[in-house]
Amino acid sequence: MYETLRPELITATKKQRRLMEIEPTSVVSTEMFFQNAFPYLEVRRPFILGVRDRIWKPTIAHHFARLLHANTGKLTRVYTQNIDGLTNAVGLPDDKIVSVHGTISKVACENCGERMNFNSFCDEIEEKIKDIY
């Protein structure tokens, strides 16, 4: 993603575009996000909508965790760094899942914490965030 980043397509100031040219990962930095959320949302748009549309499917490892819990009761926790929500999608109880970096399907304002329905959020992304790909 970062190797093919095209800052000239992203809704940003000249200074922000220059920073993305020098350091492409800045597009997903919290500093950039709090200055201007458009770069992050434009780059992540396909991922966000793909989660909603269930483009990605749980793997055998996700299903194994569910079976371990359902058939033996021996599953204590699943720790995941992935934000795609696939661990939740197989039907594990929320109290068995620790999403270290959160999950994209649980949306809340970074400033005030107000929650938003994920499908409503996706509708807003689809309607208001331009597709740069």
List, by residue number, the catalytic residues. Answer: 101
Angle at 31 (CA atoms; ends 28, 33), nearest 5 degrees: 55
Collapsed DSSP state (helix, strand, coil) of residue 10:
coil
What 3 state SS string does 7-68 have?
Answer: HHHCCCCHHHHHHHHHCHHHHHCHHHHHHCCHHHHHHHHHHHHHHHCCCCCCCHHHHHHHHH
